[in-house]
Amino acid sequence: MYRNAAIALFATALALSCGPVGARTGTMTCKMTYSMSGWSILYKHASGTGSVSCSNGQKMAVKLTANGGGLTAGKYKITNGTGEFAGVRDIKDVLGTYASAGADAAAGKAAAAQAMTKGDISLALAGKGEGWNLGVQFEGFTISKP
């Protein structure tokens, strides 16, 4: 339990420090809940759905895709995932492709956290899931309208 909280805290801190977020005035916080599943054998693909809600009351259903490559192998499913955006002025700012890189190893039930950026917008993801995964990956995480 403490490990999961530490991972989520680290990812949030990393995401908030990944760009000139503080330079954007008039920003709000937005949160996302999501579920995804995917696979990887050198190439990585995952897809899912989610919902974004912002501190100003805006809400939007979203489609999620993650693609990338690297030295990876695995199959996984994330349920009850959460995300937190920083540097958002309008809910439409969350749409687009975020860049990330990471390394992971998991088997059975696992917790994961990841930080990524898209210009001035940063996103910290956390989730619990099942499956197995091993490797180093570079990926693009895309949020779009369904």
Cα→Cα distances 88→20, 23, 63, Å? 12, 12, 18
- Range name among 3-12, 66-75, 125-134 with the lowest pLDDT average: 3-12
> Total structural domains in the chain?
1
Per-chain mean pLDDT for the chain: 75
Does 92 score more than 90 pLDDT?
A: yes
Identity of the highest mean pLDDT range in 11-15, 73-77, 84-88, 104-108: 84-88
Q: pTM higher than 0.85 for the full model?
A: no
pLDDT of 97 reads: 95
What range does the domain containing 139 cover? 2-144
